[in-house]
Amino acid sequence: MACRTPSVKRVADKTVKAKEQIDKLNAMLKRQHDAKKAEFYKKIDGHLADALVTDAREVTYNSDIKIEYVHEFSLDAIANVVTSALKVAAKAKNTNVENPAMSPEAVQAYTDLVNTVAEAAKSTSTSSASLSFSMNRLSPGLFAFLFAESLSIQETETFGKEAVTATAVYYRIMESIEDIQLQAKFEAARIDYQNLLNMKTLQAGLTDQLAKGDITIDTWMTLDKNYSKALEQIQARLDASGWHPAEEVAGIEKMAAQEVIPVASANHKLVRASIDRLSAMGADYAVVVERSKERLANDYY
């Protein structure tokens, strides 16, 4: 059953038409399930091959749907469902594999990641498209995969000016004896750091969406505030871990060298182009322009 945010549920409860439209979105995603699952599994096979893992076996697979207004960024039930499945799978997996370090910090890092992947699927910005799939090595021998797909519907008379989105999140947990020999350290810091990059890419994409007229200034302000708060929490965990970009921690240095510069360059380019468009759109967008310029000046992206 799909989970709905309180605001969407209130609308659905008021009219038969709203309920029918929401049920239609839900049904469309369910019809896509088999094709999207196959796409998800194909991506997983490719990433496991890149990681030199040949003996991976499935511990659990499932999918869930959440329905919400575009502006909403909810740490809702869908993240709890995924992380609960992760905990159950960790307890049930092969006894020859070391127990994963499912610390509260690691679980929180993964909860944030679930929501980032779901947000990426909702975004219309090309910068966010690559974030809708995620592979993470949670501990030696334990992999968690996420994939998200989103559909939206906009009908002013039923839902108001804003679109309602239905997002399907697919998740699969796998284990590998082989991988224990390749990875000796739990990678919570790597997940947090990658998610830091992901959230900043979402913010850059948000400004791009505003400049293209896909969202309103109010939606931008709401989501930018929520994203910034999430980023502060992620950065606080990284600071507490003592990790710094110049240090090698569980392969982060290699990842940084290969991924951070291209991502930052793309975000800079996207935000600069957005600033140019927004500057010509009037005084209502001045706060976005100034905030974006400040971020670029401080190498925020």
Q: Say if residue 49 is in the same domain as residue 161.
A: yes
Q: Say if residue 277 is in the same domain as residue 206.
A: yes
pLDDT at 55 over 90: yes
SS3 label, residue 10: helix
**Residue 18 confidence class, pLDDT cut points 50, 70, 90:** low
Q: Which of 163, 185, 207 is the last residue of a domain?
A: 185
- What pLDDT, on the 0 to 100 scale, is given for residue 166? 82
Q: Say if residue 26 is in the same domain as residue 76.
A: yes
Q: Which of 143, 166, 185 is the last residue of a domain?
A: 185
Q: Residue 16: which domain range?
A: 3-185
Q: pTM for this one?
A: 0.64
Q: Say if residue 156 is in the same domain as residue 285.
A: no
Q: Say if residue 19 is in the same domain as residue 144.
A: yes
Q: Which of 141, 168, 185 is the last residue of a domain?
A: 185
* Tokens matching residue 192: 């947090």
Give the tens place of pLDDT for each residue, 95-123.
555 555 567 777 788 888 888 888 888 88
Q: Say if residue 162 is in the same domain as residue 211.
A: no
Give the tens place of pLDDT for each residue, 137-162.
877 788 899 998 888 776 455 555 66
- Which DSSP string corresponds to the chain? --EE-HHHHHHHHH-HHHHHHHHHHHHHHHHTHHHHHHHHHHHHHHHHHHTT----EEEEEEEEEEEEETT-----HHHHHHHHHHHHHHHHS-TTSPPP---HHHHHHHHHHHHHHHHHHH---GGGGGGGEEEEEEETTEEEEEEEEEEEE--HHHH-SS-EEEEEEEEEEEE-HHHHHH--S--HHHHHHHHHHHHHHHHHHHHHHHHHTSS-HHHHHHHHHHHHHHHHHHHHHHHHHT--TTS-STTHHHHIIIIIHHHHHHHHHHHHHHHHHHHTS-GGGHHHHHHHHHHHHTT--
* Tokens matching residue 272: 């600069």
Question: When comparing pLDDT for 124 and 10, which is higher?
Answer: 124
- The phi, psi pair for 23, rounded to 5°, reads -65, -35
- CA-based nearest residue to 166, from 27, 34, 14: 27
Q: Give the rounded percent of residues in the chain with a pLDDT score beyond 70.
A: 74
CA 67 to chain centroid, in Å, comes to 15
pLDDT at 4 over 70: no
Number of domains in the chain: 2
List the single range of 23-32, 101-110, 248-257, 273-282 with lowest mean pLDDT: 248-257
pLDDT at 50 over 90: no
Q: Say if residue 71 is in the same domain as residue 86.
A: yes
Question: When comparing pLDDT for 274 and 68, which is higher?
Answer: 274
